[in-house]
Amino acid sequence: MSLRFGTDGVRGRAFDELTTEFAEHLGTAAAEVLGAGRWIVGHDPRASSPVLAAAVAAGLVAGGATVQSAGMLPTPAVAAIGAALDVPTAMITASHNPWYDNGIKLFAAGGRKLRDDVEERIEALLHGRSPGPAAATTDVPGVPSIESFDGRSVYLDRLLGGFPDDCLRGLRIVVDCANGAFSDLAPDALGALGAEVVVVHAEPDGRNINDHCGATHPEHLAEQVVIHQATLGLAFDGDGDRVIAVDHLGRIVDGDRLIAMAALHLKDHGRLTGNAVVVTVMSNLGFHRAMEAAGIEVVTTAVGDRYVLEALDARGLAVGGEQSGHIIYRQSATTGDGLLAGLHLAQFVAEHHEPLATVAERVMTTYPQVLVNVRVAGRHPAVAEELATEIAEAESGLGDSGRVLLRPSGTEPLIRVMVEAQTAALARSVADDLAAVVLDRFGHQPTTDR
């Protein structure tokens, strides 16, 4: 079986790369490694998700597990159920990918994403079985009868219990659900706390998830916030584990600014444990400068919110996340939760009677950042070491006012070249030069910037 765990589970083209046979065998291997007791399985609204969820469930049952289906739920809800019940869970989703892709995320008991060594044990079982070529089929023969589970109530009770009644009263919030797994839950949660909610892109049909909407395409949300004269806007991705905000002027507020505001807010209230915040290597240099000025330590990890969680737990810290909008409030969650982070942001705005635009502008200065993805012939996990000389030369030219990051994609044969500098022109020039080096050394053409 060719699929392997990436930075966030297993992902591929549904019924082509990610087949029902693979999903079933993965379920059986997961039951052997994570335990054959009670499991909860949820899925996003992609057309392929119910079939793949049934295949995973069949594999879990074959491995001795007892499985309950939570139906369509966002990833953070599935993780929260695992934490509340102390059982392992599985989520069928390809997150922000197009509808024709899908994936499987596994959580150990307690709602925690898997460690690298646990993933390796599951992969060893999968590849040891050598089941032969998988048929591109949507048929799942022999699927057992699976009981349903009301995960919606478990998640909402857990989520809303952390906020005062009517704490969002007086706020008009536009919410873009990406035609994804938060399409029902997010508007209900915001309304339950008193907000006036305007909902867009909350009509999933199996094929419109993330389609020019949500956290990866917040342009329409920005327009709607201005049209409706809203206080702010919140955009989730297809499985709901990330959020991007929009201020009342229609300007986008990315994950770095959201994390910076969260850290400063917690510090002001004496709840920033360890006086530190966790981010990944992708966070903007401006974020680091802002935290340094505020006297807050920055702990940096590899890309992936599971690494953020590990760092939070290692030191008992309160908040961390990724520039892409994955934000973990550790006292309340074990993974990125776009709705939880959005509620905290809205509560912050309500309490301080200050526009999000004002706070977001004040909190940090963003250094121009250019990202070039270079498609390569094979995987190069040690690319930073292989091109250490070229990276050092580029960093020398940038001095203290910029930085360079080269890293392999966790899910595709790509090398990501990221450069930050004082000007966009300088960042572009250095990034293009390094991309040319990668192209010359490893082959293929650069893809569109992200």
Give strand pairing partners of 9: 6
Identify the sign of the CA torsion 373, 374, 377, 382: negative
| Strand ranges across the sheet with 403-408 | 369-375, 414-420, 403-408
- Coil, helix or strand for 180? coil
Amino acid occupying residue 315: R
The contacts of residue 213 (CB under 8 Å, 6+ apart) are 176, 178, 179, 200, 201, 220, 221, 235
The residue from 49, 95, 283, 324 that is catalytic is: 95
Locus of tokens 């997010």 = 186
Q: Which of 435, 437, 362, 430 is nearest to 401 (CA)?
A: 430
d(CA 261, CA 294): 11
For the question of residue 69 being annotated catalytic, the response is: no
Residue 30 token pair: 């997961």
Cα distances from 52 to residues 19, 92, 131, 243, 358, in angstroms, run 8, 7, 18, 26, 45
Catalytic residue positions?
95
